[in-house]
Amino acid sequence: MKKTILRIALIMLLAGGILALTTWGFGARTSLYFDQGFHIAGSNQRSEVEELLSDFRHIDLRLGVTNLNLRHGNDFRIEGHYNSGLVIEQRDDTLFVTSSGFIRQGGRFTINVGRISFGSSGGGSLTITVPSHVELASVSLDVGVGNIHIRDVAIQDVDLTSGVGNIDMDLPGSAERVSWSGTVGVGRIAIDGERYGTGVGGSASHRVEEPEAVIRFDAGVGNVNITFQNP
C-alpha cells in the first residue's frame, strides 16, 4: 500500500513538472495552479488552421500541447486551432505534423486522481480527416499533453505515445484479429470492455498470428479505451 501511494505521488509530481515546463513554454500570461487538481490557464491568442491535403497513407505527428482527433471526412484535411510553431508538410505518401517546442495555447485542463478531463476553453485542438474508403498503413502519434481520439478509420499499424491525456479509439474490425500491447503509468486500460490494471497503472497485451492490425501505446498519465466495431 505504501509503495502504491509513493508511486502515485511520484508520478503526479512528474506530471506537475511537465505542466510547469509547459507553462514556461506558454509565456508570461499563462499560469499553473492547484485547486483540487493541477490547472493551466492562459490568454494567448489562437490561430486557426484549415488545409486541404493530398492523398496520404502514413501519419507522423509530434505535438507539444493539443487535443488530436482522427476521423472520417469528405477529403484529406487538417483543421483546428493553435498558437504558433506548427509545421504541416507532406512528403510522398506521409503527412508530417510537428510543433517547435510546445504549442502555445490558452486552454485549461485539470488532473484529478482517477480522472483526467481537458476543457475546451481556448485549448489547442486539431482534427485530421480521411475519406471513408481509405485504409491508413501507419499512424505514429506523440503528444505531450492532450487527448487523442481516433474513430472509424482503418489503420494497419498504430503507435501512440502520450505524456498526459486520455487515448480513445473506436476502430473497425474485430478484436480477435488485432494484436495490441501497451502500458499506462497512472490510469486505466479498457480494451473491448475488458479492464486491465488497477487504476494506478498497468499493461495489456494480446497477440494473434497474421494480425489485420497492430496497436502499441505508452501513456504516462491518462486512461486508454479501445473498442472494436465488429464482434
pLDDT digits (tens, 9 = 90+) for 48-67: 889 999 999 999 999 888 89
How many Å apart are CA 220 and CA 231, to the nearest integer?
A: 30
Q: Which of 103-112, 128-137, 216-225 has the lowest mean pLDDT?
A: 103-112
Instruction: Report pLDDT for 137.
Output: 98
Q: What are phi and psi of 11, to 5 degrees?
A: -65, -40
Q: Is the pLDDT of residue 230 over 50?
A: yes
Q: How far, in Å, CA of 102 to CA of 83, rounded?
A: 10
Q: Which three cell numbers stand for residue 223?
A: 486512461
**How much is the average pLDDT of 161-188?**
94
Q: What is the mean pLDDT of residues 181-197?
A: 91
pLDDT of 102 strictly over 50: no
Q: Are residues 79 and 69 in contact, defined by beta-carbon separation less than 8 angstroms?
A: no
> Is the separation of the CB atoms in 11 and 186 below 8 Å?
yes
Higher pLDDT, 66 or 5: 66
Per-residue confidence (pLDDT) for residue 81, from 0 to 100: 87
**Would you say residue 212 has pLDDT above 60?**
yes
Cα separation of 76 and 136, whole Å?
Answer: 12
For residue 107, give Cα distances in angstroms to 32, 97, 103, 118.
11, 20, 11, 8
Yes or no: say if 183 and 201 are a contact pair by the CB < 8 Å rule. Answer: yes
Cell matching residue 38:
493541477
Domains of the chain: 44-105+116-230 (2.160.20)
Is 139 or 24 the better-scoring residue by pLDDT?
139
Pick the closest to residue 106 from 155, 46, 166, 162 (CA basis).
Answer: 46
